[in-house]
Amino acid sequence: MDPASLIGIGLAFVVIITANVLEGGNPMSLLLLPPLLLVFGTTMLICMAGSTIPDTKRSFAALKTAFLSKVQPAHAVVPTVVALADKARREGLLALEEMIADIDDPFLVRGVSMAIDGTDPEEVREILESSVYAKRAADKQAAKFFGDAGAYAPTIGIIGTVMGLVHVLENLAQPEELGHLIAAAFIATLWGVMSANVIWLPISSRLKRLSELEVARMELVIEGVAAIQSGSNPRVVAAKLYSLLPAGAEEEAGKATAKQAA
């Protein structure tokens, strides 16, 4: 599990609360049910209104991915693909059936399985690329859902503040209550802006980044499977996959390959 989101969002709230305490504030005064209900509840409902029920369900399911997903960089798959290419070159594609049983990458297993079954290389590539397209589209929708939440939340907070100030004007005859009422009115704006910038927008960015890493790995797998089917030399396969990696990743992949060989 990569805890970047949990650490980032958690510590951000710790810093905010600490700053509030250092300024002499009471953190409990920020936890008022009406503004919390208005900001979080209305924001999610408005996001749902701009989407579909299935998309909303998938977006909420993506929260688990955002907080608990294990980041798998593209280069992590290189040693496995090179090992498969080496075995296929020496013993044939059918010999890979034993190896794929121990591979925990469903996408790679799917591609190699089709190669073992004798599927035409062009058809294999087309099927796998379609899966990448579908994956990218699904991830884009989930990221957009929370990006929209980040856009709506501040405005919803302002609506709450305006409602609170209307209530303040209704109680001008009670000046002793005005201070408390005005402070409570601005809590909605606080939570609107804070939830957008500390929760929703970071989650959206996290989902986009995870999608980029996953798609990059899947595209690397496609090239690897194509090279395996063509019977390429393992060194050529490794060189081709390394050339597709970003700067610095080749060295990490090389270390992983050496470790596996050892």
Q: Of the candidates 171, 172, 152, which has an alpha carbon nearest to the alpha carbon of residue 51? A: 152
- Name the residue with tokens 């802006």: 193
Judged by phi (left if over 0) then psi (alpha if -120 to 50, else beta), residue 183 lies in alpha
Selection from 9, 2, 44 nearest residue 202 by Cα: 9
Tokens 């496609």 label which residue? 222
Quickly list DSSP for 136-164.
HHHHHHHHHHHHHHHHHHHHHHHHHHHHH
Let me know: does 135 contact 211? Beta carbons within 8 Å.
yes
pLDDT at 110 over 80: yes
According to the model, what pLDDT value does residue 9 have? 92
pLDDT computed for residue 145 by the predictor: 95
Tell me: the pLDDT tens digits for 33-71? Answer: 889 999 999 999 999 999 999 999 999 999 888 888 877
Integer Cα distance of 104 and 102 in angstroms: 6
User: By three-state DSSP, how is residue 30 classified?
Assistant: helix
Residues 125, 94 contacting (CB under 8 angstroms)? no
Residue 105 has pLDDT above 80, yes or no: yes
Domain ranges within the chain, ordered by starting residue: 1-30
Tokens representing 225 are 């499977």
Find the helix or strand (DSSP H, E) in which 18 lies.
helix 4-22
- What per-residue confidence (pLDDT) applies to 232? 82
Query: Which pLDDT value is given to residue 75?
Result: 80
Quick: pLDDT tens for 204-229.
999 999 999 899 899 999 998 998 88
Burial category of 85 from C-beta neighbours within 10 Å (exposed 0-12, middle 13-18, buried 19 and up): buried
Across 236-245, average pLDDT:
82
pLDDT at 252 > cutoff 80: no
pLDDT tops 80 at residue 175: no
| pLDDT at residue 256 in the model | 55
Residue for token digits 């799917």?
110
What mean pLDDT comes out for the span 90-109? 85
pLDDT band, very low/low/confident/very high, at 258 (cuts 50, 70, 90) = low
At residue 253, the pLDDT reads: 58
Cα–Cα distance, 220 to 251 (Å, whole number):
16
Question: What pLDDT does 260 receive?
Answer: 52
Count of other CB atoms within 10 angstroms of residue 60: 14
What would the pLDDT profile of 142-153 be if each residue is shown by its tens digit? 999 999 999 999
Q: Dig out the tokens for 3 from the structure.
A: 């805890």
